[in-house]
Amino acid sequence: MGDPSTQVHDFEPGIAPSGLFWTVPIEPGAIKVDPVTGEARLRVQALKILDFHDILTALGLIPGPAPLPSRVSFDVRWAGDGAPVDLHDATFGFMGHYVTGPATISFTATNDAGDVVYSSDATGQSNPGTPAVGTEQNGLFFH
């Protein structure tokens, strides 16, 4: 994760009163996935979202500016074709079968009241962790 002290934009949907974290419903067609190969694509256009300025403000850890109504469009691609991983974690109560592989993103983001469009650069992207695509079961579906 980047240094929050130098962060100037934090586009995310916020935390629901239930605690559901940065998760919003989308159209089923926004997701194309092949859990066998690990290839997947997530495409969303003009999603209404907030810009919390930085993650510490977003989490309520420091006082910050009011969130700005914004819109983001993104196209995330998981290449798959990596090592398969099977997990069964009784401590956290989930299991799954995944295929690893690099992921890249193309995005634009704008503040509704602003006129600057922020766009990702296609080159030089990297994945700090191990991206993965697969199937997962937790809670009542975990056994």
- List the interface residues with another protein, window 96-135 (CB under 8 A): 96, 98, 100, 103-105, 107, 115-121, 124-135
Q: How far is CA 131 from CA 58, 66, 84, 109, 128, in A?
A: 24, 32, 12, 23, 9
Cβ atoms of 93 and 50 closer than 8 Å? no
Which CB, 5 or 126, lies closer to another protein?
Answer: 126
Cβ atoms of 70 and 49 closer than 8 Å? yes
Site residues (CB under 8 A) for another protein, limited to 30-59: 30-31, 33, 35, 40, 42, 44, 47, 49, 59
3-class DSSP assignment, residue 133: strand
Least CB distance to another protein at residue 86 (A):
10
Residue 62 as a binder of another protein (CB under 8 A): the answer is: no
Q: How far apart are CA 104 and CA 60, in angstroms?
A: 29
Least CB distance to another protein at residue 67 (A):
14
With CB under 8 A as the contact rule, the residue among 5, 63, 92, 113 that binds another protein is 92
